[in-house]
Structure 1
Amino acid sequence: MSDTITWGMMLRKLPSIAKAIPRVVKGMKVANVKDPTQPCGLGWSFEQATLRNPDGPALLHGDVSLTYAQVNQWANRIAHHLIEQGIVKGDVVAVFIENRPELLVTILAVAKVGAISALLNTSQTRDTLVHSVNLVNPAAIVVGEELLAVFQAVRDQVSIDATRTWFVADQDTWSHPGIAPHGFVNLMTASVDADSENPASSQQVFFDDPCFYIYTSGTTGLPKAGVFKHGRWMRSSASFGMIALDMRPEDVVYCTLPLYHATGLCVCWGSAISGASGFAIRRKFSASQFWSDVHKYQATTIGYVGELCRYLVDQPPSADDGKHGVRKMIGNGLRPGAWNEFKTRFAVDHICELYAASDGNIGFTNILNFDNTVGFSLMSWELAAYDHDSGAPTRAANGFMRKVGKGEQGLLLAKIDDKAPLDGYTDPQKTEKVVLHDVFEKGDRYFNTGDLLRNIGFGHAQFVDRLGDTYRWKGENVSTTEVENILLQYPHISEAVAYGVEIRNTNGRAGMAAITPAESLATLDFSELLAFVRQQLPAYAVPLFLRVKVKMETTGTFKYQKTRLKDEAFDPGRTGDDPIYAWLPGTDTYVQVTEQVLSDIQGGKHRY
């Protein structure tokens, strides 16, 4: 394996390891809060950063630039208003706002109260949104004007008191709070005269208190709410901000990732707060505007997912590609094929690739700046042999699981102990499903990540793939069950199996579904079917390929043969009599895949 780390490679890193030791020791101390009476978490961290850098930029968005002192006072006013309205520690406040300063200030205010932000995915609509809200039984909701119509469509299906249904105008509300529509309370107007001092409640938040609910794809097709505690916030922000990136007040992190996900919110914003650094955000990622934003905000650090890097590489080359202040980047999903090209073309010194799951108990970080690795973890982990069809770990004759060797890929299992507790989900039964018992010895417990990694030596790992009933596309986890359920609602489809397939030179897996028509192929109107699916699913979850099957093959236990379907993918030369259809970018129907269409897709003519 060319990516295997050797003794020689390690020895060359010794000077940088020696230099990093003091901050690693300090970072580990901050990260591992053990005293149950020690205040900590998001609100506390932000207050510490404000003391350290009160007049430095904290939040940058468009032409808005707010200092740490300004953001802290703004969040304090909102926190005091929430307390006046009866929001107490442990209450859930659903937050439904796109990437902008108001989202982060609201989350910060909720954290200072000791309440829990339920971070609703802004792509969700209809039944999925109703499920996500009702799953956590919120005492209140804060809705951004940009998502008002989406919320209004489901408002009568979620029971939240009108006096606690807060509205945030879609503008710079620091300067102009705007006007709320009938039936909503304008959060910024209502809190404008509240106390701007730190609330006493932010000193009453401890490591075991929940900070957010972050939604992950459920195997039933509907999202699960993962619990993210304040102790984990401390581990995340210190591990990435102090240990991995060495963030300082003069740094600025530029993040275009959605802030309802842990990479954007906890890794990128957490790193910025850890260093009392600036945090520049954009509503949605733009490849053409990315580097001009980097210059505008004088960013030194960028947050990424693999897809984002590919879009940047696909932009026409420019003589200015390497002329910027970015020296480090943090994120996940940058595959080996694109790693060196990105690093060279854009002159980024350190790619701090990481691996973490918002619902898990383990994180890997590429602290030593090797190529093509998620780095190492300070937690205990093993890679176990697994069954290729079911994705489940296998047990040997003695009842225990088998560890795979160096260079082999295996299922990542993370040990659950005091150092790495599993916060789990809001539903204890769902948590129990991902916990394995008696794994390598009697009495041990491990979290099953459902991900395949490869051990490349010296404690370093390389991400390989995601198993199970989700796949990743456009930086989002897609639940195959959710896609199947939507397809089955279409009257002319009787069976549907969804899965992820690889398109050459793209990150993640694109959505594909094998479908059986209720009557015949002739009854399917592909334009109508695509319009139906696009209305029901977020854009990233709409299947790009369809395989029409007269009859669906199943295993002896009536499970669909997904492994074979994934393997044959959308190649008409391998799918026998089953016709394949593709939704090509910029069109509004599915067209049949011929050898020429396949060649165009794999050759990059169609940019997915």
Structure 2
Amino acid sequence: MDAMEQVGARKVTFIDVLRALPKLAPDGLRMARGAVGLVTLKPTNKESIGHIFQRAAAKHPERPFLRFEDTEMSYGQANALVNQYASVYAAHGVGPGKTIAVMAGNRPETLLAALAGVKLGAAVGMINTNQRGDVLDHSVRLLDATVLVAGRDYREALNEVDTPTVLDLDTLADGATSDADPEVCATLPASTTAFYIFTSGTTGLPKASAMSHFRWLKSMSGIGGLGVRLRADDTLYCCLPLYHNNALTVSLSSVLSAGATLAIGRSFSASRFWDDVVRTRSTAFCYIGELCRYLLNQPPRPIEREHQVRVVVGNGLRPEIWAEFTERFGIDRIAEFYGASECNLAFINALNIDRTAGTCPLPFAVVEYDADTGKPLRHGDRLRKVKAGAVGLLLTKVTNRAPFDGYTDADASERKLVRGAFKADDCWFDTGDLVRMQGFKHVAFVDRLGDTFRWKGENVATTEVEGAIAEHPDVEQAVVYGVSVPGTDGKAGMAAVKLRDGTRFDGTVMGAHLANRLPSYAVPLFVRVINEVEQTSTFKSRKVDLRDEGYAAGVTDPMFVFTGGKYVTWYPDYPAEVAGGKIRA
């Protein structure tokens, strides 16, 4: 067994590709359309998300577009309501070049409120509903929105921050003057910004990553057309939050590419997941890796094989559970992909080869990197690509066909670019991700670099968490890092904390302190109380040794774990309880 197989990865060979080709025949026409879309779409094209949606509504108005709990809404009904929302927005001064903020939970109206904004040429900022306090205030200010649409469950959180005009999602259609398609929708160039997706960066506060109509439409052709390949009578179930790109871009674009149906789940529940899939008559669903692991941790039930699901799309399905997942639940096809909110391209497992994120037709490079800095490693003036089977830092080439939309912060955008990588005038996007080259231009995701780690499908910025801990009056200094928990995806948060003289660690108070300041996924699961935070000569904390030690048995410092909203003394069974879903913090 070679090194790749030992880590659960695999090589992709010519035989794998050859075996996959005959199975693609039934989807040939759909794949051809997807390929044509990738090749012919240009940023200057007069094409947009709203235009795609309203053409679908005109073509088959009676076909079901959305299912939610016990309700169903047709394409025609949804388009009329979207247009009513758009007329209310327009009355408040919303149009091309403006921004709308949306903070609401998973239900049809939230998605329709977003579609109404993009129909008018506005950019829609989808605020993570876990944000609170200073982080939420930062996000609202960053968007500089003309109006903010809020679900009633989030009005109280918004009362704590300065906001623009707030529109109640439940009464948004009140006062609408028209349900006709806005004329501007058919004139928007694909280069127009459609969405702002919040992503945690290494600066410590969320960044608003721009998603143009062009990049969304490329996803519709590449992931939706080439990869997922839904049919008109398919229903895709999505219980991921609508502010997440897997919902707003991957799920929605896959549905609209086929004129299919989107079933929205209010939230993910491992115990009722298959009940929802069966009840909504879904034939596909969207996942993140942690969702798959939670499903496997559930006791077997007959309903998990009573579904009609034939394809699933998502990212983060770990190689070591790939076969178990497909076999236990009877999933025929895994359209695993690699992408990020800000990344200018995506990989898709179009050939249904196991344990791979697939391939991308556009230029990319997997290069050697500096483990200390997380930056590409230069040999003289140029970078060096890794060999097949090796792990390296993924760079994606920035071109006219694959532009980098960037963030609202121009400096943050520039810091993500690598110039002069292989030629003096080239430009590449630094994903910050480690991938393994598998052969035949296929890659498998390995891990994230730098101060950001990934937990519960979300990127967690260590500086943001360190800042929240440091606000506690008993804390002198804190270092935060991600640690592996066997049986889980990503890295869980761990904090090494130095207390002020004369104080002691109060787990109840600290738990409440962090829960009020951080999204639930960012609250560290482990806390280690240390005597001193070692620093480098440039006054950066030495977190590498702390991260390597983690919560190992050899650590003699006091350690605490987060459960039930508070920190309690470490106990050996805790990691297994996290992996089994018993600890859901």
TM-score of the two chains, using structure 2 as the length reference: 0.95
Question: 1:448–1:198: structure 2 CA closer, same or farther, 3 Å change rule?
Answer: same
Displacement of 1:270 in angstroms is 1.2
Contact 1:33 1:207 in 2 (8 A): no
Give the structure 1 partner of residue 392 of structure 2: 410
Contact 2:44 2:191 in 1 (8 A): no
Which of the numbers 518, 521, 530 marks the counterpart of 1:540? 521
- Structure 1, unaligned stretches of length 5 or more? 170-185
Question: 1:39–1:219: structure 2 CA closer, same or farther, 3 Å change rule?
Answer: same
Displacement of 1:597 in angstroms is 4.4
The separation in 2 between residues aligned to 1:403 and 1:241, in whole angstroms, is 30
Displacement of 1:315 in angstroms is 1.2
Question: 1:561–1:320: structure 2 CA closer, same or farther, 3 Å change rule?
Answer: same
The separation in 2 between residues aligned to 1:321 and 1:598, in whole angstroms, is 28
Question: 1:313–1:305: structure 2 CA closer, same or farther, 3 Å change rule?
Answer: same
SS at 1:247 equivalent: coil
* Mean CA deviation greater in 252-261 or 52-61: 52-61
- Structure 2, unaligned stretches of length 5 or more? none
Contact 1:49 1:274 in 2 (8 A): no
Q: Does 1:238 align with 2:221?
A: yes
The separation in 1 between residues aligned to 2:507 and 2:237, in whole angstroms, is 40
The separation in 2 between residues aligned to 1:605 and 1:38, in whole angstroms, is 47
Q: Does 1:167 align with 2:168?
A: yes
The separation in 1 between residues aligned to 2:231 and 2:310, in whole angstroms, is 13
Give the structure 2 partner of residue 467 of structure 1: 449
The separation in 1 between residues aligned to 2:382 and 2:30, in whole angstroms, is 39
**Aligned positions of 1:451-462 closer than 5 A:** 451-462=433-444
Give the structure 2 partner of residue 179 of structure 1: none
Displacement of 1:324 in angstroms is 1.0
Give the structure 2 partner of residue 182 of structure 1: none
The separation in 2 between residues aligned to 1:273 and 1:408, in whole angstroms, is 37
Give the structure 1 partner of residue 96 of structure 2: 89
Question: 1:488–1:425: structure 2 CA closer, same or farther, 3 Å change rule?
Answer: same
Contact 2:21 2:351 in 1 (8 A): no
Question: 1:85–1:526: structure 2 CA closer, same or farther, 3 Å change rule?
Answer: closer
Contact 1:49 1:275 in 2 (8 A): no
The separation in 2 between residues aligned to 1:388 and 1:254, in whole angstroms, is 39
The separation in 2 between residues aligned to 1:75 and 1:359, in whole angstroms, is 27
Displacement of 1:37 in angstroms is 5.3
Contact 2:275 2:303 in 1 (8 A): no
Could you tell me which amino acid in structure 2 is paired with residue 525 of structure 1?
Answer: D
Count, aligned residues: 577
Give the structure 2 partner of residue 580 of structure 1: 559
The separation in 2 between residues aligned to 1:123 and 1:602, in whole angstroms, is 20
Q: Does 1:30 align with 2:37?
A: yes
Which of the numbers 189, 193, 196 marks the counterpart of 2:174? 189
Percent identical pairs in the alignment equals 39
Give the structure 1 partner of residue 420 of structure 2: 438
Q: Does 1:303 align with 2:286?
A: yes
Which of the numbers 265, 270, 273 marks the counterpart of 1:290? 273
The separation in 2 between residues aligned to 1:551 and 1:605, in whole angstroms, is 33
The separation in 1 between residues aligned to 2:394 and 2:335, in whole angstroms, is 20
- Alpha-carbon displacement from aligned partner over 1:419-469 (angstroms, at most 9, x marks no partner): 111001111111000000110121111000000000111111000001112
Displacement of 1:578 in angstroms is 2.2
Give the structure 2 partner of residue 486 of structure 1: 468
The separation in 2 between residues aligned to 1:31 and 1:287, in whole angstroms, is 36
The separation in 2 between residues aligned to 1:564 and 1:165, in whole angstroms, is 47
The separation in 2 between residues aligned to 1:422 and 1:413, in whole angstroms, is 12
* Mean CA deviation greater in 29-38 or 275-284: 29-38
Contact 1:572 1:579 in 2 (8 A): no
SS at 2:312 equivalent: strand
Displacement of 1:218 in angstroms is 2.5
**Aligned positions of 1:113-512 closer than 5 A:** 113-154=120-161, 157-158=162-163, 160=164, 164-169=165-170, 186-191=171-176, 194-396=177-379, 398-512=380-494
RMSD of aligned residue pairs (Cα, Å): 1.8
Give the structure 1 partner of residue 533 of structure 2: 552
SS at 1:321 equivalent: helix
Contact 2:93 2:146 in 1 (8 A): no
Question: 1:249–1:18: structure 2 CA closer, same or farther, 3 Å change rule?
Answer: closer
Q: Does 1:76 align with 2:83?
A: yes
Give the structure 1 partner of residue 566 of structure 2: 589
Question: 1:207–1:24: structure 2 CA closer, same or farther, 3 Å change rule?
Answer: same
Displacement of 1:523 in angstroms is 2.1
Displacement of 1:22 in angstroms is 4.1
Could you tell me which amino acid in structure 1 is paired with residue 59 of structure 2?
Answer: R
Contact 2:274 2:303 in 1 (8 A): no
Could you tell me which amino acid in structure 1 is paired with residue 529 of structure 2?
Answer: V
Question: 1:477–1:394: structure 2 CA closer, same or farther, 3 Å change rule?
Answer: same
TM-score of the two chains, using structure 1 as the length reference: 0.92
Contact 1:45 1:273 in 2 (8 A): yes
Contact 1:356 1:363 in 2 (8 A): yes
SS at 2:16 equivalent: helix
Contact 2:209 2:407 in 1 (8 A): yes
The separation in 1 between residues aligned to 2:38 and 2:579, in whole angstroms, is 46
Displacement of 1:289 in angstroms is 1.4
The separation in 2 between residues aligned to 1:447 and 1:122, in whole angstroms, is 28
Question: 1:334–1:153: structure 2 CA closer, same or farther, 3 Å change rule?
Answer: same
The separation in 1 between residues aligned to 2:489 and 2:230, in whole angstroms, is 28
- Alpha-carbon displacement from aligned partner over 1:65-110 (angstroms, at most 9, x marks no partner): 0000110111112212322332121100111111111111111111
SS at 2:149 equivalent: strand
The separation in 2 between residues aligned to 1:289 and 1:472, in whole angstroms, is 25
Which of the numbers 26, 48, 55 marks the counterpart of 2:62? 55
SS at 2:305 equivalent: coil
Question: 1:5–1:423: structure 2 CA closer, same or farther, 3 Å change rule?
Answer: same
- Alpha-carbon displacement from aligned partner over 1:349-399 (angstroms, at most 9, x marks no partner): 011111111111020001000111110012211111111122111111x31
Displacement of 1:589 in angstroms is 3.2
Q: Does 1:45 align with 2:52?
A: yes
